[in-house]
Amino acid sequence: MDDEVLIACPYCWLQVSVTFDLGLARQSLVQDCDNCCNPIEVELKFAEGYPQVVSVSKL
Ligand SMILES: [Zn+2]
């Protein structure tokens, strides 16, 4: 089961939708920005069933 969360791109600061797997309590993933195409590393965790963004960083 997948869901998505919005983050701010660290390069261009536009919102980017990140798709993640709900089955994992904590995970990091890399996604290219839809706008500027730079790779973004996103770390997520789940608290009370809701995704929280731990960190967003440039690769
Ligand atoms: Zn961007």
- If you measure from the C-alpha of residue 15 to the centroid of ligand 1, how many angstroms do you get, rounded to a whole number? 8
- If you measure from the C-alpha of residue 26 to the centroid of ligand 1, how many angstroms do you get, rounded to a whole number? 24
The pTM score is: 0.82
Instruction: Note the pLDDT of residue 7.
Output: 94
Cα–Cα dist 7/20, whole Å:
12
Task: Using a CB cutoff of 5 Å, list residues around ligand 1, an ion.
Answer: 9, 11-12, 33, 35-36
Instruction: Note the pLDDT of residue 1.
Output: 57
**Average pLDDT, consecutive stretches of 10 residues, N- to C-terminus, the chain (59 residues):** 86 93 84 96 87 93
Q: Which amino acid type is present at position 34? A: D
What are the boundaries of each domain within the chain?
Answer: 2-58
Query: Residue 31 CB: number of other CB atoms within 10 A?
Result: 16
- If you measure from the C-alpha of residue 20 to the centroid of ligand 1, how many angstroms do you get, rounded to a whole number? 18
Instruction: Note the pLDDT of residue 50.
Output: 81
Instruction: Note the pLDDT of residue 47.
Output: 82
